[in-house]
Amino acid sequence: MSGLPAAIRTVECAVADFSSIARGKIVGRADFDAMRGCKLPSVVFGVTLTGGEPETVFGPLLPAAYGDLHLEPDLSTAVPVPGREDRVSVVCEPTGLLPDARRFSPRAALRRVLQRLADAGLRATVAPELEFFLVERTAEGGLRPAAVPGGSGAREHALEIASLERTAQFAPYFDALFDACAVQRLPVTGHAHESAPGQYEVNFAPGEPLAMADAVWRFKRLARETAVRQGFLATFLAKPFLDQPGTGMHWHVSLQDTTSGRNVFSQPDGQASPRLAHFIAGLQHDAAGALALFAPYDHTFDRMNRGDASPTTAGWGGDDRSVAFRLPPASPANRRVENRLPGGDANPYLTVAATLGLGLLGMERADEPLPEAPALPRSLGAALDALDTSAALREVLGDALVDLYVALKRHESAERNAVADPRHGWDFVHLTEQA
């Protein structure tokens, strides 16, 4: 038996693909208990965002016969499905008929990194800040800020930084969203209107990395589903409007000694420790390859290439929102690094895995921060080339995952580049409701 409450009749088995799309099945309780999860064709890890099946994937990396995966549930993640008292949702990882199927799982990659930290006597605490837009489609196929619910026609047209009035006008949406978050025990601590029209930011409490990546992944889905029910769209698209700020997924990261609980980024006298510099240096050294994970689509580079406090180099510093790796003002016990590179459309598991894994490598090698901030790739193709050749990221994530990710993203990029108007014909069609 699964140990789930007796009232549960159906179970949603959910697994995250590279695009953060929740894939899986809803199965009856008896089948879930008998199979200890469910089965799913391995093709789900090999299709692009548009459903394409690259020849470089099937055969070389995944079975062309689409053999079944077994989705093994992590029962500690079981949470109610909002509005369904008889159903729970469980985060799963792929195992089974595909040998070593976990090697393709973003969540499993993060777990492996966390085990490396534990082996080094360390644990991590992370806190995400996640931005997104509330939008609606235009008759011409573009996007515009969503109209205020209620039929008034009110709509934002200019920067309204931290507007409490606009936030209040969308209270029905946020009330419903945060009720759903409470049902699924997502540690959301607050929200605010960001600077661009229709843009909002949600903050999460600090927590264990795997649990927080689960929370962000689940939040993105709840945000989209709740918006659709209210007649508009929630999108994590990195740059819906070229003349407005883009969407980020910032992660605050600290490391603690597992024995003492002390923040290893601080010395006993309160000053920054050398390990902080080593951690940042590890990120700097392979930031170019990691950018393919932090900015996973051609579109995402519009956010970085058009400014708006989005970093263009792997620089670091104090209370400066233009650098990639910021050191927010904090007490010695709370000293941390903020990774500001990821876009809102990034996969949270891969983002955290790369951040912690590269930082740990930098600490192990005692790397020193680079005297000049390295320039970052200005295109997805260049970032994918850097990821493909990064020995460090292959060590952190595994060859199989890197090979599959690169093959899929190159195929998606080729699909996009074949469209006459990629922004309207590919980004707004495929990314708006899924990225």
Find the mean pLDDT for residues 45-53: 90
- Measured distance CA(348)–CA(380) in Å, rounded: 18
Handedness of CA 263, 116, 107, 346 (dihedral sign): positive
Q: Against a cut of 0.85, is the pTM above it? A: yes
- Measured distance CA(128)–CA(205) in Å, rounded: 8
Asked if pLDDT for residue 365 goes beyond 60, the answer is yes
Asked if pLDDT for residue 97 goes beyond 90, the answer is no
Asked if pLDDT for residue 128 goes beyond 90, the answer is yes
Asked if pLDDT for residue 344 goes beyond 60, the answer is yes
- Measured distance CA(367)–CA(102) in Å, rounded: 30
The answer to whether the beta carbons of residues 274 and 376 sit under 8 Å apart is no
Asked if pLDDT for residue 87 goes beyond 60, the answer is yes
Name the β-bridge partners of 24: 14
Locate tokens 């995402």: which residue? 300
Handedness of CA 214, 228, 294, 410 (dihedral sign): positive
Q: Note the pLDDT of residue 305.
A: 83
Q: Note the pLDDT of residue 304.
A: 86
Assigned token pair, 134: 């509330």
Name the β-bridge partners of 62: 58
Task: Establish how many alpha carbons lie within 13 A of residue 394's alpha carbon, considering only the half-sphere containing its beta carbon.
Answer: 13
Q: Note the pLDDT of residue 306.
A: 73
The answer to whether the beta carbons of residues 109 and 398 sit under 8 Å apart is yes
Measured in degrees and rounded to the nearest 5, phi and psi for residue 25 equal: -140, 155
Q: How many CB atoms are located within 10 Å of the residue 255 CB?
A: 26
What is the enclosing helix (H) or strand (E) of 12?
strand 10-16
Task: Establish how many alpha carbons lie within 13 A of residue 142's alpha carbon, considering only the half-sphere containing its beta carbon.
Answer: 7
- Measured distance CA(373)–CA(75) in Å, rounded: 43
- Measured distance CA(252)–CA(129) in Å, rounded: 8
Cβ neighbors of 228 (< 8 A, separation 6 or more) are none
% of the chain exceeding 70 in pLDDT: 98
Asked if pLDDT for residue 416 goes beyond 80, the answer is yes
Residue-wise pLDDT tens digits, 154-198: 777 767 776 787 888 889 999 999 999 999 999 999 999 888 889
| All domains of the chain in start order, with CATH | 10-101 (3.10.20.70), 111-431 (3.30.590.10)
Q: Note the pLDDT of residue 383.
A: 98
The answer to whether the beta carbons of residues 389 and 317 sit under 8 Å apart is no
The answer to whether the beta carbons of residues 258 and 123 sit under 8 Å apart is yes
257 — pLDDT class (breaks 50, 70, 90)? very high
Handedness of CA 48, 300, 167, 179 (dihedral sign): positive
Nearest alpha carbon to residue 333 among 274, 278, 255: 255
- Measured distance CA(197)–CA(209) in Å, rounded: 31
Q: Note the pLDDT of residue 308.
A: 65
Asked if pLDDT for residue 351 goes beyond 90, the answer is yes
Q: Note the pLDDT of residue 379.
A: 97
Q: Strand runs (DSSP E) across 243-317, as ranges?
A: 249-257, 316-317
- Measured distance CA(416)–CA(27) in Å, rounded: 35
- Measured distance CA(189)–CA(129) in Å, rounded: 10
The answer to whether the beta carbons of residues 301 and 416 sit under 8 Å apart is no
Looking at every residue in the chain, the average pLDDT score rounds to 93
Collapsing DSSP to helix, strand or coil, 382 comes out as helix
Least confident of 60-69, 280-289, 294-303, 345-354: 60-69
> How would you label 57-71 residue by residue, b for 16+ Cβ within 10 Å and e otherwise?
bbeebbbeeebbbbb
Find the mean pLDDT for residues 343-370: 97
Asked if pLDDT for residue 307 goes beyond 70, the answer is no
- Measured distance CA(276)–CA(179) in Å, rounded: 38
> How would you label 342-375 residue by residue, b for 16+ Cβ within 10 Å and e otherwise?
bbbbbbbbbbbbbbbbbbbbbbeeebebbeebee
Q: Note the pLDDT of residue 262.
A: 97
The answer to whether the beta carbons of residues 13 and 25 sit under 8 Å apart is yes
309 — pLDDT class (breaks 50, 70, 90)? low
- Tell me the Cα Rg of the chain: 21
Name the β-bridge partners of 90: 13
Residue 3, Cβ density class (10 Å: 0-12 exposed, 13-18 middle, ≥19 buried): exposed
